[in-house]
Structure 1
Amino acid sequence: MTDLSDIRREYTKGGLRRAELPAEPMALFEKWMEQAKEAELSDPTAMCVATVDENGQPFQRIVLLKRFDERGFVFFTNLGSRKAQQLAQNAHVSLLFPWHPLERQVAVTGIAEQLSNAEVLKYFVTRPKESQIAAWVSNQSSKLSARQVLEAKFMEMKQKFAKGEVPLPSFWGGYLVKPDSIEFWQGGEHRLHDRFLYSRQGQGWEISRLAP
């Protein structure tokens, strides 16, 4: 077994105090997201999405956050994908934003609701044409005999839609994750990290400090 126990570092970028917290968690999330963008992090919108299958087996994957507001967090995907199939059976989901260079994490739990076709189309038309075509090509999570099959299908669809708009595939959609809890983690010296948990209580939020 490879021993990694000697790999460690101190977290020194500053703490997070209760007096600094807004009443609504999305206000703090917006502030942290803007700071992640300003710091020019690689993929600041990348988040780990965790779902569970019918046997209770968790699965995780990286997905890009495309929109957020006071309702929650939005991402898009193939509706035939493994994540979509699992969400159809169990809509409970967990998100994690790992902003390591800022010594921050944001962890979310909530319920994923499928977006309407109108909401999906509104985003789909803003994608680069190649990305629109790729949505038609990939039967996400299915088995492939070779990469060449995927590339050949892409070229076929590229020629098909060469002279016109790419229509929205019926099997492509999105989800709004409505949060039940949002935890903000800020690294601290000597492993004395700051953790604050927003838990939904009716129409408002309860804020708790958690031990590191």
Structure 2
Amino acid sequence: MYCHEYDYEGVRNACRPGAWDHLFDKSGKNVWLQFDKKDLPAYRNYELIAVRNGCLFDLGGDYQVELIWTAGSTPGHSMYLDRKRRHLFAGDGVSSDAIGCGTGFSRGGPYGQYANLVTYRNCLTKLVGRFDEFDYLFPGHYMVNLENNVLVEILNAVNAIIADPEKYNYKVEQGGVHGTKRAVMHKYVRGFSTIAYTEDGIHPPKG
């Protein structure tokens, strides 16, 4: 299994026996979906390999897939460009529900200084400059097969947040770790979804 080097420790620490236990309540019921815990595949150890931005995976012949670093939701979040079919697999960096690239969830972990909207904006700006390399996006959740111009609308919304974080469209209180609550702001992406962010998830930490 491969991942960006900035996510190596996070993935390594999360993928272990019992990793899914937090998804079930005390009675064994899933907190989001309905399925039996016994249906989950048994844990198997695997080799995890850290790679850098721009890593090319050669699938044979002229088929190559490129890892493109797009930090935000995690320090090492990456998208994958299928060069042959001109498809971009966007993971959590694009979502028709809410794009949580400014919530600061990974801030305290390894390379947590990259889990913020400013870093996401910088990565996204470079990606928009490569429109001639892909036509459609396939996010990790909800709507797929999106035209590439949705990235421009996302970038516009992110820039608006960075310029004035107080001009959000709505705010919700969400439960956090250990039962604490925090305010999560949402900014509309024109014709698409929202950007979710918190006060400490916009800029990299100082110092």
TM-score class, shorter-chain normalisation, is under 0.3
Of structures 1 and 2, the one with the larger relative CO (CA 8 A, separation 6+) is 1
* Structure (1 or 2) with the larger CA radius of gyration: 1
Normalising by structure 1, we get a TM-score of 0.25
Larger fraction in strand: 1
